[in-house]
Amino acid sequence: MNENLPIAAATAMLVQKILTHTIRSIIVVYSALLVEPFINHVICKKVLPDMNNHPLSHGELLRMAMVRYVGAILVLSAMFFLPAGTLNYWQAWVYLAILFIPMLFVLSYLLRNDPDLLERRFRMHEKESAQRKIIGFSWVFFLAAFLLPGFDQRFGWSQVPVWVVISADVLVLLGYGIVFLVFRQNTYASRVVEVEEKQQVISSGVYAIVRHPMYLGSILLYAASPMALGSWWALFPIIPIIGILVARIMDEERLLRRDLPGYEAYTHQVHYRLIPGIW
């Protein structure tokens, strides 16, 4: 009798389980991604059609912020706990806390102090075709990076020490802190790549160190997330995500040099795009 048959059968069953859970998780995640626009349409149906035509009121912004906030919690929770097959996943709970508790304070700050920026952060449609392609290409890697940790938890692929998880949580919080500094200093820090009328170059604060500090904070957050979620394997899709953000920066700089007065001079003043002394 071939002794390799039990091993082959066990391997086949494991692969089948992984594929089954992956398909189920992707279906649920995509369903959750579809739920948010539906909720937006039902709750904010009077807001969304006119979003580009007139400034939103405080009440409209508040409703939209809450819909996006709750939707993001639901989507990320589905991406973590469904693949894990359990709620007993402390790394995910800590990650959600350090992400969404500060986010609530940031939303409150923007509502009070810079509602125009909050409205810009709600924009989703990229005007530049190159940016639309970059964003479209990135989704598969984002899904992989945030689905893999749950499977890793379920099947025990990684043994990430607690001190590494906590250190990564601190880096995630630091990355988000850098993004918040950008929000405080640049009211034109839109989610999409664009140049608005009366927009000016910001060359002080974090912008005096690197030209794209928000991307620096985002990369720090994304790079630390797999370890914060207790997974070494999820680091692999993070590598192309960083490459995608670099491509986004390069195309964004082309637009800024073309359309934003004073940006070319700013590039001679601040030499580094992302990492001081390197690039």
Q: Are 219 and 175 in contact (CB under 8 A)?
A: yes
Residue 143 lies in a domain: yes
Number of domains in the chain: 1
Residue 102 token pair: 């500060």
Q: Measure the CA–CA gap between 162 and 227, rounded to whole angstroms.
A: 10
Residue 26 near residue 75 (C-beta atoms within 8 A): no
How far from chain centre, in Å, is Cα 2? 49
Q: Is residue 248 part of a domain?
A: yes
Tell whether 278 is covered by a domain: no
**Residue 29: predicted pLDDT:** 43
How far apart (Å, rounded) are the C-alpha atoms in residues 112 and 95? 26
Contact 85, 152 (CB under 8 A): no
Q: Which of 177, 158, 174 is nearest to 235 (CA)?
A: 158
Identify the domain containing residue 131 by its residue range: 4-269
Residue 135 lies in a domain: yes
Reading the chain (279 residues) residue by residue, the pLDDT tens digits are 455 556 655 555 655 555 555 444 444 444 444 344 434 444 444 444 445 555 677 778 888 888 888 988 998 999 999 999 999 999 999 999 999 999 999 999 999 998 888 888 887 777 777 777 877 778 888 889 999 999 999 999 999 999 999 999 999 999 999 999 999 999 888 888 788 888 888 888 899 999 999 999 999 999 999 999 999 999 999 888 888 888 888 888 998 998 889 989 999 999 999 888 888
Q: How far apart are CA 127 and CA 225, in angstroms?
A: 29
Q: Is 209 within the bounds of a domain?
A: yes
Asked whether the whole model's pTM tops 0.75, one would answer yes
The answer to whether 64 and 56 have CB atoms below 8 angstroms apart is: yes
